[in-house]
Amino acid sequence: MEVMFEQLHLLELFFCICFSAFGGVINRLVEKERHPKRKIKFQSYFIAALISSFVGIVVYFMCLYLKLQLELIAAATAISGFIGTPVLNLIFKVAIQRIGVIEEGGEPDGSKK
């Protein structure tokens, strides 16, 4: 499948990256609220925003592939940014199952849960 540059909606992508990064920062703030004695450094917020941005990009392109409406794409990227790496793990596991590398309920290394 060839993706043309004109098909990439860069402004939409930028806003979705911002939404997902904001979701990651919100996650850190919620974590800080739940554990007030735990010290969270600024670096942690930056790293959370970076990871969440990557997750948001992956989810954004998946939503484009599914031809979802912009409002739903924005919501999905923000929520995935809040959740973070567990979303990537889920996407990876589903993708691996779809191509038949592992069986349902199994792990990528071939073991069962």
Q: Summarize the chain as % helix, strand, coil (round to 5).
A: 70, 0, 25
Q: Region of 100 please: left (phi>0), alpha (psi -120 to 50) or beta.
A: left
What secondary structure letter does DSSP report for 3?
P
Distance, CA of 89 to CA of 1 (rounded, Å) = 25
The domain segmentation of the chain, as residue ranges, is 9-84
Report whether pLDDT(3) > 60.
no
Query: How many residues comprise the chain?
Result: 113
pLDDT tens sequence across 94-113: 877 777 765 555 555 555 55
Give the chain's largest Cα–Cα span: 51
In the structure encoding, which two tokens stand for residue 66, read together?
């599914």
pLDDT tens sequence across 21-50: 999 999 888 888 888 888 878 888 888 889
